[in-house]
Amino acid sequence: MITKIFNSTTEDLINDWANLWENSEYSNYINSPEWFFSTIENIDSQNTHIISIYDNNNLIAIATLLKQKKYGFEFYTFPADNFSCGMPFLIKSYDKKVLNKIISEIKKLENVFMTNIPEYLVSDLKLNKYATFDAPNFYVFLELDSIGEPIIRHKNKIFKKAKEIMSKLNLKTYDNNLDNKELETIFKIDNKSTKKKFGYNVFSDNFSKKFYKSLKKHYKEKLILNILTFNKKPIAYEIGFKVKNTYYGSQIANIEGLEKYSIGRVFVGMILDNLTKKQIKKFDFGSGDDHIKRTFTKEQISLFTVIITQNKLIDIYLKTIIILRKKIYDFLHQHKNIYSIYRKIKK
């Protein structure tokens, strides 16, 4: 094995990377070339650090990092880390020697900030002393019953609660026919959503909008958009990524007005039902905890923030900040009105 470090991409590297991504069982939406290019189109980072590992001139692993500011300090982070969740490296096979090779290269950097890292990776690479718990990552395996109907936990109960409006609801899925018109629709829904009311809607800034437009351009049919209409008017959206037999949920929101029908649960139930019929085997809910996710699954893994720095004071400072941030978030999340004020002040 040999390791090469790149500060920019080359045509050969991109081709090797794309080929590895297509053929690896560890491909996901954040370790692809598309995710990297969508990020660098929308940020101002002068420092790119690409760790690539070869075996007999064949690329078998790659990790991309960008230098950005975190809490006032410069760190190497993974591309668009605020939107990412899961295995950040692309590997041919789960070989601990290869993974440790990546980590040894990462440890050579002065400051590294890695967020939403799966617990199995933290454990296998012995990163526990660098790690702070971040959030749960819920997921559900999708199956059909003996007569070919999707098995969705609590589905009948959820749909029964919305029985009187079900005939007025319609789910439309966009993939290869997705264009900016549909993206503008979700921006409008987001701006009227319950998340907007409390100040944490994702598309409240121009970066998020431009980033997802770049994702649409690069991912093409792998970027999926679900829009729910009520009486032909858009009331909810969900956007995610289809990678082989796994669907990664990315963003979701709905407008106010149909809370008594548990419209959020109904919407997710309809999406899971639709994906199961399309032979998707796993739905990954991404980072974070909420009542909707827990309705459909109990399966979860823990995600961690990993900070590697040569400066002990920065290490202590950031770990303290992360722990305090989580405690404050947990408190505010239980007190929605205070949380709304907090988010508006923060912005």
Task: Provide the 8-state DSSP code for 279.
Answer: T
What integer is the mean pLDDT of 182-188?
93
Domain map (residue ranges) of the chain: 2-134+304-310, 143-280
Is there a shared CATH topology between the 2-134+304-310 domain and the 143-280 domain?
A: yes
Q: Residue 177 — very low, low, confident or very high, per pLDDT cuts 50/70/90? A: low
Domain over 2-134+304-310 is classified CATH 3.40.630.30: yes
- 322 vs 241: which has the higher pLDDT: 241
What integer is the mean pLDDT of 48-66?
96
Task: Provide the 8-state DSSP code for 154.
Answer: T
What integer is the mean pLDDT of 19-31?
97
Buried/exposed 194-218: b ≥16 CB within 10 Å, e otherwise: bbbebbbbbbbeeebbebbbbbbeb
Does the pLDDT at position 343 exceed 80?
A: no
pLDDT tens readout for residues 33-48: 999 999 999 987 678 9
pLDDT tens readout for residues 261-313: 999 999 999 999 999 999 999 999 999 999 999 999 999 999 999 999 888 88
Buried/exposed 111-145: b ≥16 CB within 10 Å, e otherwise: bbbbbbbbbebbeebebeebbbebbbbbbbebeee
Give the model's pLDDT for residue 242.
96
pLDDT tens readout for residues 215-260: 999 998 999 999 999 999 999 999 999 999 999 999 999 998 888 9
Domain over 143-280 is classified CATH 3.40.50.1820: no
Q: Distance between CA atoms of 271 and 234, rounded to whole angstroms? A: 15
* Percentage of residues of the chain with pLDDT beyond 70: 93
- 65 vs 258: which has the higher pLDDT: 65
Give Cα 299 distance to the centre of its chain: 17
